[in-house]
Amino acid sequence: APSVIWFRRDLRLRDLPTLLSAAERGDDALALFVLDPRLLRPSGAARLAFISGCLRALDEDLGGRLLVVTGDPTTVVPEVAARIGADSVHLSADHGPYGSARDRAVGAALSDAGVELIATGSPYAVAPGRLHSSSGGGYRVFTAYRRAWYEHGWRAPAATDASTLNWLSPPSPSAPLPAPEIHADLPAPGEAAARARWTAFRAGFADSDAEGYATARDRPDQDATSRLSAYLKFGCLHPRTLLHDLRDDSGDDAATFRSELAWRDFYADVLHHRPDTARRNYDARFDALAHDSGPDADRDFHAWCTGRTGYPIVDAGMRQLLAEGWMHNRVRMITASFLTKDLHLPWWRGARHFMTHLVDGDLASNQHGWQWTAGSGTDAAPYFRVFNPVTQGRRFDPDGDYVRRWVPELRGVSGGQVHLPGRSVPGYPEPIVDHAVERRAALDRYETIKGR
Ligand code: FAD
């Protein structure tokens, strides 16, 4: 009987273990993607447009044979399986709180109909829940996790070739893909574009003694990071492929890049063990931290979202987010610190805004990136280390080029001077808060919870 291959966060055909598991059952396979309204609703236009682009690319790679349906997977997946007489549905496992519950429900519905659900692989080099700390639970400290992660290692890429399967023509026309109006400048979608980006980025590792990834990755004014996050999010590339390509590279750039991929796996592992931390503080002491609310807080939040706080590096980052659906990692930390410690707003408010606009928006990396900055997460930056947006700007964007790229009002200010707030530049806001004052206020609030 034919198989259904249900694509989700694995929008590629190379190094895709589900193709192997389907091939074991026979040659005939139907490629399926489900537009699940519960997952699409919180996605902003940029992410939706990127997903649509990736699906279009996958459909092309499959010779126009991808079936796209809309609805609750618990009903539509069994319907599609029944329609083509499939006896198995193949997928890569999902480890998020919603995805894992959904897959259990789909598995139960399929099993009632006599169809097997077969999960092979995951979107991670080491699947969440695989590694155990000495106390038997999940890791709380990144460096300990990373050590275990290296020791465990990962499989070699799956040698998959889509042409070994006989892709069935969809039994019904596909649902239209979301086509939101977007203003963001997005990366080219799909597997081929992802591979091209990876090849181009890796080529830069060769001259790493100069300003390679290991040192330049903290510089938002340089195009020094891989920009693979959206591709990794939707599985246009698997991290195992990247780790395999780097297996003989012992340079600093490769080591740093591997370590960044370990962060991605770590946060997925943390969320797997503590699904409540998608919404709540990992460190429960922070439940007692006082936050601002009311009309003034709403006005500050709006200024932050729109890049009008009067702190140039913060505003540049928030505008880059809206313009590209992406923000440089260093600036994600600076803007998140500003929201939580200068504006005293709860991290989840900022996290929601990021999740709406980031093309790479990912529950595990985003919520835990926020909690790290807010001080409430695993391994968190100590709460008392409050980022100074002026010092951070001068250090990581020394000539001010990043700020001038995103904040046109400040283009007349030369060099690193551009980071100083309160320059009375026409059209650019005065600082909405005084960093020195708010830093002390943040530390005072922290004092009240610290001994708990
Ligand atoms: P590179 O430096 O080239 O890194 C390579 C890959 O490693 C990335 O694509 C990503 O998959 C992974 N990675 C790098 N840094 C981290 C990290 N700190 N945590 C987890 N994975 C990492 N990343 C997301 O993918 N989705 C998010 O929603 C997200 N939200 C964040 C929110 C905040 C407040 C912070 C501080 C960080 C967040 N990150 C998130 C992590 C990081 O900022 C992005 O992964 C990175 O900026 C993506 O750009 P890149 O691909 O060029 O990174």
Q: CB neighbours (10 Å) of residue 360?
A: 21
Q: Kindly write down the DSSP assignment for every residue of 305-365, as one continuous string.
A: HTT-SS-HHHHHHHHHHHHHS---HHHHHHHHHIIIIIS---HHHHHHHHHHH-TT--HHH
- Answer whether residue 129 shows pLDDT above 70: yes
What is the Cα–Cα distance from 391 to 305, expressed in whole angstroms? 21
User: How far apart, in Å, are the Cα atoms of 388 and each of 22, 339, 394, 420?
Assistant: 53, 12, 10, 11
What is the Cα–Cα distance from 201 to 191, expressed in whole angstroms? 15
Query: Among 68-72, 74-78, 202-206, 426-430, whose mean pLDDT is lowest?
Result: 202-206
Establish whether domains 3-121 and 284-450 are of one fold.
Answer: no
pLDDT tier at 46, thresholds 50, 70, 90: very high
pLDDT tier at 205, thresholds 50, 70, 90: confident
CA 162 to chain centre: 27
Which protein residue has the closest C-alpha to ligand 1 atom 11?
Answer: 229
Cα of 366 from ligand 1 centre, angstroms: 8
User: Which atom of ligand 1 lies closest to the CA of 336?
Assistant: 34
What is the Cα–Cα distance from 388 to 188, expressed in whole angstroms? 35
Task: Pick the more confident residue, 183 or 403.
Answer: 403
Phi, psi of 166 (to 5 degrees): -95, 100
Residue-range domain boundaries for the chain:
3-121, 124-157+191-273, 284-450
The answer to whether residues 351 and 277 touch, using CB atoms and an 8 Å cutoff, is no
Cα of 225 from ligand 1 centre, angstroms: 10
Task: Indicate the fold that domain 124-157+191-273 takes in CATH.
Answer: 1.25.40
- In the numeric block, which tokens belong to residue 340? 């939580």
What is the Cα–Cα distance from 90 to 17, expressed in whole angstroms? 9
Q: What is the mean pLDDT of residues 66-84?
A: 98
pLDDT at 384: 81
The answer to whether residues 403 and 393 touch, using CB atoms and an 8 Å cutoff, is yes
- Answer whether residue 105 shows pLDDT above 70: yes
Beta strands 88-91; 116-119: pairing state: parallel
Give the ipTM: 0.99
Which protein residue has the closest C-alpha to ligand 1 atom 4?
Answer: 260
Helix (H) or strand (E) holding 32: strand 28-35
Cα of 180 from ligand 1 centre, angstroms: 25
For ligand 1, mutation pick of 226, 365, 367 (most atoms within 8 Å of CB): 365
Mean pLDDT of the chain: 95
Q: Looking at residue 174, what DSSP letter applies?
A: P
Cα of 328 from ligand 1 centre, angstroms: 8
- Within 6 A (CB) of ligand 1 lie 217, 225-229, 232-233, 260-261, 263-264, 267, 329, 332-333, 336, 354, 358, 360-362, 365-366, 369-370, 373
272-317: per-residue pLDDT in tens?
999 999 999 999 999 999 999 999 999 999 999 999 999 999 999 9
CATH 3.30.565.10 holds for 3-121: no
Query: Among 210-224, 234-248, 384-398, whose mean pLDDT is lowest?
Result: 210-224
Of 338, 278, 59, the C-alpha closest to 174 is: 59
Which protein residue has the closest C-alpha to ligand 1 atom 46?
Answer: 329
Q: Looking at residue 163, what DSSP letter applies?
A: G
pLDDT tier at 206, thresholds 50, 70, 90: low
Which protein residue has the closest C-alpha to ligand 1 atom 21?
Answer: 264
Cα of 452 from ligand 1 centre, angstroms: 31
User: Which atom of ligand 1 lies closest to the CA of 366?
Assistant: 30
- Answer whether residue 208 shows pLDDT above 60: no
Q: What predicted TM-score, i.e. pTM, was given to this entire model? A: 0.97
Q: What is the mean pLDDT of residues 4-22?
A: 97
Cα of 223 from ligand 1 centre, angstroms: 15
What is the Cα–Cα distance from 98 to 39, expressed in whole angstroms? 9
User: Which atom of ligand 1 lies closest to the CA of 201?
Assistant: 3
Which protein residue has the closest C-alpha to ligand 1 atom 47?
Answer: 329
Q: CB neighbours (10 Å) of residue 262?
A: 22
pLDDT tier at 42, thresholds 50, 70, 90: confident
Cα of 330 from ligand 1 centre, angstroms: 10
The answer to whether residues 307 and 406 touch, using CB atoms and an 8 Å cutoff, is yes
The answer to whether residues 421 and 438 touch, using CB atoms and an 8 Å cutoff, is no
CATH superfamily of 284-450: DNA Cyclobutane Dipyrimidine Photolyase, subunit A, domain 3 (1.10.579.10)
Cα of 152 from ligand 1 centre, angstroms: 23
233-272: per-residue pLDDT in tens?
999 999 999 999 999 999 999 999 999 999 999 999 999 9
Q: Characterize 38-49 residue by residue with b for buried, 16 or more Cβ atoms within 10 angstroms of its Cβ, and e for exposed.
A: ebeeebbbbbbb
- In the numeric block, which tokens belong to residue 264? 């991605």
Which protein residue has the closest C-alpha to ligand 1 atom 43?
Answer: 329
- Answer whether residue 135 shows pLDDT above 90: no
- Answer whether residue 428 shows pLDDT above 90: yes
Cα of 317 from ligand 1 centre, angstroms: 14
Which protein residue has the closest C-alpha to ligand 1 atom 42?
Answer: 329
What is the Cα–Cα distance from 452 to 445, expressed in whole angstroms? 13
User: Which atom of ligand 1 lies closest to the CA of 233?
Assistant: 25
Which protein residue has the closest C-alpha to ligand 1 atom 17?
Answer: 263
- Answer whether residue 387 shows pLDDT above 90: yes
pLDDT at 385: 83
Cα of 229 from ligand 1 centre, angstroms: 6
Of 331, 337, 333, 349, the C-alpha closest to 292 is: 349
Q: Percent of the chain beyond pLDDT 70?
A: 98
Cα of 126 from ligand 1 centre, angstroms: 17
pLDDT at 136: 84
User: Looking at this protein, which amino acid is placed at residue 241?
Assistant: T
Q: What is the mean pLDDT of residues 107-135?
A: 96
User: Which atom of ligand 1 lies closest to the CA of 328?
Assistant: 47
Which protein residue has the closest C-alpha to ligand 1 atom 10?
Answer: 229
- Answer whether residue 452 shows pLDDT above 90: no
pLDDT tier at 231, thresholds 50, 70, 90: very high
Cα of 329 from ligand 1 centre, angstroms: 6
User: Looking at this protein, which amino acid is placed at residue 257?
Assistant: F
pLDDT tier at 209, thresholds 50, 70, 90: low
- Answer whether residue 357 shows pLDDT above 60: yes
Helix (H) or strand (E) holding 268: helix 252-273
141-191: per-residue pLDDT in tens?
999 999 999 999 999 999 999 999 999 999 999 999 999 999 888 999 999
Which protein residue has the closest C-alpha to ligand 1 atom 15?
Answer: 260
Of 271, 236, 162, 241, the C-alpha closest to 9 is: 236
